[in-house]
A and B are shown apart, each in its own frame.
Chain A
């Protein structure tokens, strides 16, 4: 047995047995035989039968043990028909537990953080900070010496890999190696922690847990073009060392903070990394509930290190979480609705915009003051203006509106469209049904003083949905009406356009009012404006357009009317009638309220009427009109974009119920938001919303959050956490290798105001971290998985980092930080396995080909194979710990894949360019990859490969041409390719 526990631990060893085999019948509610096995008091009390299940220290006086092993089938527990007899080993554990006093302890992870100081070790030379005391304490107890400090080349490379995920350049290596001052190491650590690449490296750890992706998941797996905004938020937050409590609150409930900023809202996109099922025929409630469950379970894993998902359907078998508690937790999230928020595209764009906007606002200010002063002038001219208006109204009233039929001379439309004249003078459109149309109609009339046109659109049985439009549903869009007129004899359409002034209709669709039919804006779809009638299909509607001046000619007049309909998808008119108008509506162009106001005597007017009149005159004053036009110049649009976030449902909030067997269609008892009983409660709970939950997590009293978080950090710096099941701090997980160290670090995190950078610095400056990672054969049997931390661990880096290292060593890496996801080369055919081959991968050009791996577009149903081959998580569920496989496909990838092949060629070229001779080039290349100088034998190996490659390419010029251009370049590429495939290069040592 390895170093670990020799004593029985109740929560680890005994409670799971009770949970699995006993508490179904001997639980706290109606326990059989009066025996309640969920608490110590229940198990040591005298039972109805007279016996005592457990007598501490006396296994022989414990009925429980007898009943577990009795040969009497009627007395045996668990009952025979359950077919679950306890194994001899399990019985032995229970016996040992009773012998040692039957202590009923709380599982270590739920206990408050301990504040025990480490033992003072006399021989403390090795120790650099408190971390090391805990480690050395344990090593000494086991009689093991720590490993020596790694050499300086390994140290600098280790720090670069761990903190930046990039290799140090030979110059950076030399700077450190040759700096023998005492604080050289610490200076290096500080420099790396303040590098912007630190945020990229550590953001990726967080994104694993956040299940970040650039697409919806499930069948359709639609892209999420704005998902990267959340990734940028994480990178920036980590670079700015946002305290972990704030980091938590903003992501879980940023929208609920008072005066939430755009960024705080953006942070809640953490909860929007859930999958979205847009497959046809899905039940929205089913997938909403599934998403909420995923949020709950993700928080359980990420912050609490607990697998809460079991309790979806039933009480957790091992951990103290009931199904009821699961849904109480669920309730915190049940009213967090999926929504979107506008956030600045980038900080720079936003600042630039603010400057332009200020300038714009200044101009508006001066225009407004000009208008105000001119209004003063108008105010003085009020009596005169009122007289004019009264006269106009009188004329209009004396000449009421009349409509006159017109003689159709011709009707033209797109090819194949037929106009049939109907008995009521209307035209019915049939024949071809093009997507867009322009109807040109010509009429002759002897009517004079034409003041406008009436266009009636009419239903007809021959039209789909009865019209009046020719779409399936009966709508149309009339983008623009143009009218031309002259003497019939001298008609020339282009030169006699009639200006139109206003339009009204009996009905118009929202956002498609009558006035849009004369605004001259003609374009497809929503790029254009026009008049339309959605929701009132199959009925008559009319549009009346007024001309600026009346139309009169001595001879009969020829009128040409153009109905322009460019919306597309057959939004054209199916039946219509055009008549000419003479006279005026009583208040044609004059609002009724104005007609009323002007007719009241001045002294009897209500002040608001006086103001309305002035406004009316002002609005119609040519000078003011001109100023208003300038004023109406649109303000520069803010550079914002829409992102997926969570916001709290305020209208008809949902109640939460226990879902029987986790099924959304089977709600049972109602529950309210409450934190699990096993953990300290939150006294200040307000609404029972996400903000409460988030504050509870980071209140400092919750022992799990700080432990789990420092364990993540430790895991990233040692390859293994202090708890080696970082996703499971529950009873079935592993106990910490160094429990006191874990608690001490957790306390450090809290007392350092949740600064992760400080904790990272503390750890990486420890002697424990600085140990050599060389394996120690003498300890391989005693401590094979290094639970004592007798050395550093040596492990392969992650998928993204492997590529980053290759690109960096070859000099190809683009160091741009943040921004939209990119599309590095993808082998042909990979994207095609996604649903119905619906995804096209347009490879990025220029520098975006060579961005860091974390920026690669992540399509959930067809992820980049270079990522998956090296165990990048599929991002469908939270990933707390990546696996590290070692496969032939991985070897093929780094040998042959386009990205890696390009890197080998680029590195070959770089060596030729930057160094003079073979030896220098080999050393330089080797150092670009692994920091240290190659040994003589390593140099010789590479030199002989180079020689062979050179010889080959000299004899095969065409092959050289194909591979990397010419002999030397190809020979060096073949050599560099081997350097980039060294185990050492992709391993953090």
Chain B
């Protein structure tokens, strides 16, 4: 067998063939300029890499909203109550534990346990215990799968964030959204299949958190912007009206078509199609961000008009409370329009000091909009097919941070051994708590979950066998779950 033939067997090409056999009327069912079709320009070589394609098996989830809490929120103060830790507040840990652990800033010799000042209350029929900083999330407890047994291999922010997004902490790897759109394409042919919404401070990982790595840049996340044009370069230059834009594109089409006829390169037809899609996006993207048709009660439920609160650390951009609420509402609108993957990035939860007030600020920013999003999706019948994920790169230490020169232990350090995540919808069984940490929240005691397991299970809900979604790069078949990953059956609804 010839190697080149082997390459042809990548999933993407399968998608290409599926697309060619299923869509008779142009790109993903969207009509192109009739001229193109009449002239048979969409020849057999033409393929749209974002055309929707069939999964390996029946899918429960169609879209994913990944809410990435960059910087590592404290599981001990939000999701994982530890009465024993509170009792042992101020005590030291046995030396053998401290010697094994690595810390960023904690000085092991003088470190002491730090209890939580939060109160926890049981919510919903399932009796899920959540912190007093998350009152709204409590109202959707019965839809939530709360995972208390996450653990990771990485200890610093950027590598940890890469591991959570890419399944591997190395650079140059595709992120979750890239894998998913590479595997499934997107239902939306008028908007990008993978959209990123950003609020708060910039994250440690920056644009690498939505990179496509070795996959073509078609699968890279497109950052929607809170101000100005929603997609970079969407607006025509000032003074160039839509009618001239249309005429210009028509002229361009004629020129490109002429060249195609001469040189017969199918890449030209692909380019023509992309100019048409770009032109459609000029209408659909502004329509997407226009919230005037949303009712006031929806807007208020998300907290779109909440006043900004003091806090949030240095480098904060814009009005975080409103931006985050708006991003959650936009996520729903994106899912409605067929977008496959939405990554809402929020930074930063890196509370080495000032834990209580800063956590209050951040939880206050995200609690209400996320709960509203889950309720809104449910009410519209979209939650079953939309997976919402709340997560971060790691957790925080049960030890107070006694960094040299600090007067008091008001924060917690990085903690890769255990942390919490929450999922809802998209074929995930809610109303349950999965996994358990030990009595002080130091290590996982039961049902450990690695990001590779999380990804394997997420892909499963999208009808994808994580071991079969591969891409050949530098002689190796890479996948989102690297060389590991187990589907967690208990999560499956």
Contacts and interface: CB of A to CB of B under 8 A. Distances in A.
A871 interface: yes
A952 B248 contact: no
B256 interface: yes
Most buried by B among A221, A833, A860, A885: A833
B33 interface: no
A259 B267 CA distance: 53
A503 B256 CA distance: 83
B248 A945 contact: yes
A775 B156 contact: no
B94 interface: no
Contacts of B207: 833, 861-863, 868
Contacts of B81: none
A876 B171 CA distance: 6
Main secondary structure of the interface of A (DSSP, over half): loop
B268 A836 contact: no
A827 interface: yes
Contacts of A382: none
A987 B474 CA distance: 26
A892 B263 contact: no
Interface centre among A724, A896, A941, by most chain B C-beta atoms within 10 angstroms, is: A896
Which of B102, B248, B281 counts the most A-chain CB atoms under 10 A from its CB? B248
Contact of B217 (A1, A277, A732, A883): A883
Contacts of A776: 264
B239 A886 contact: no
B216 A832 contact: no
A157 to B, nearest CB: 13
Nearest to B350: A280
A775 B198 CA distance: 44
Given A774-B264, A892-B231, A277 B158 contact: yes
B252 interface: yes
A938 B258 contact: yes
Contacts of A318: 475
A119 interface: no
Interface in B231-248: 231-241, 243-245, 247-248
B241 A952 contact: yes
Interface in B100-134: 102-105
Nearest to A902: B237
B156 A279 contact: yes
Contacts of B254: 937-938, 941
Interface in B351-368: 352
A952 B244 contact: yes
A989 B266 CA distance: 13
A836 B202 contact: yes
A838 B211 CA distance: 20
Contact of B274 (A887, A896, A897, A974): A887
Interface string B153-188: 001111100000000001110000000000000000
Nearest to B238: A962
B239 A774 contact: no
Interface stretch (A229-237, A652-660, A685-693, A975-983): A975-983
B251 interface: yes
Interface in B193-241: 198, 201-208, 211, 214, 216-218, 220, 222-223, 225-228, 231-241
A837 interface: yes
A774 B156 contact: no
B156 A281 contact: yes
B57 interface: no
Contact of A941 (B233, B255, B271, B475): B255
Contact of A876 (B208, B264, B274): B208
Contacts of A500: none
B232 A935 contact: no
26 contacts: A1-B2, A1-B5, A4-B2, A219-B158, A277-B158, A281-B156, A282-B156, A319-B475, A730-B475, A734-B3, A735-B3, A777-B264, A832-B317, A834-B206, A835-B204, A876-B171, A892-B281, A895-B233, A938-B254, A945-B247, A948-B244, A959-B240, A960-B239, A962-B238, A982-B259, A983-B259
**10 A-B pairs with the lowest CB-CB distances in the bound complex, closest first:** A281-B104, A963-B239, A861-B206, A732-B475, A876-B171, A962-B239, A836-B315, A219-B204, A837-B315, A775-B264
Interface of B: 1-5, 7, 45, 102-105, 155-159, 170-172, 192, 198, 201-208, 211, 214, 216-218, 220, 222-223, 225-228, 231-241, 243-245, 247-248, 251-252, 254-256, 258-259, 262-268, 270-272, 274-275, 277-278, 281, 313-317, 347-348, 352, 413-414, 472, 474-476
Given A773-B265, A837-B316, A865-B232, 12 more contacts: A5-B2, A279-B204, A774-B262, A774-B263, A780-B45, A833-B198, A833-B206, A835-B202, A861-B208, A886-B270, A891-B275, A959-B239
